[in-house]
Amino acid sequence: MIIVITGNGKGKTTSSIGQIVRALGHNQKVCLVQLFKGEDFYGEQKILTKLEGLDFFSFATKHPFCFRDITKEQTVEECKQAIDKLKEIIKNNKYNLIVLEEFNIAIRDNFIEEDLLIDIIKQLNEKSNIVVTGRGASQKLIDVADLVSEVKEIKHPYNKGVPAQEGIEF
């Protein structure tokens, strides 16, 4: 099954982490490939890397629209490394669940070619499920997916100037 979790609200990563925990609870083998999130900063990274049965990979830890010390070209190259890892993961065929964190953003911002990612995830075998998260999922990816959830922001304290809180936003 191909699952897409998108939208402008908070909770896409939280939802995918829930899927990871659920799969691990059934002794399934899980892989998380994460983009644009520096390693060992986010709370979920600190705990997930300790869980048995989960393989965790982080690429393109900085997004050039947020950080001045990285170029779009560097980000494209780092996302290419993530795509190469994903090809290897799918070829090895050992995971029940593969989570591609923030890959929708990589497609939206032209760091990953949409058709390439879709072709790769279509190669999943019958035992594997894949979750693709991030804002701005493309219509093409939505059309290919079996299950799509949209997380909609209704209200967020950040809009009132409240800074991000450890344990809530990161």
Domain assignment present for 156: no
Based on the structure, what is the number of domains in the chain? 1
List the domain range (segments joined by +) for residue 97: 2-151
Contact call for residues 111 and 75 (beta carbons, < 8 A): yes
- Between 97 and 62, the more confident residue is 97
Domain assignment present for 170: no
Global model pTM greater than 0.75: yes
Is the sign of the CA dihedral 152, 154, 157, 160 positive or negative? positive
Q: Confidence class of residue 39 from pLDDT cuts 50, 70 and 90?
A: low
State the residue for tokens 């100037």. 161
> DSSP alpha helices (H): ranges in the chain?
12-25, 43-48, 72-92, 103-108, 114-121, 139-144
Domain assignment present for 162: no
State the residue for tokens 């830890």. 61
CATH number at residue 101: 3.40.50.300
pLDDT digit string, tens, across residues 106-117:
999 999 999 999
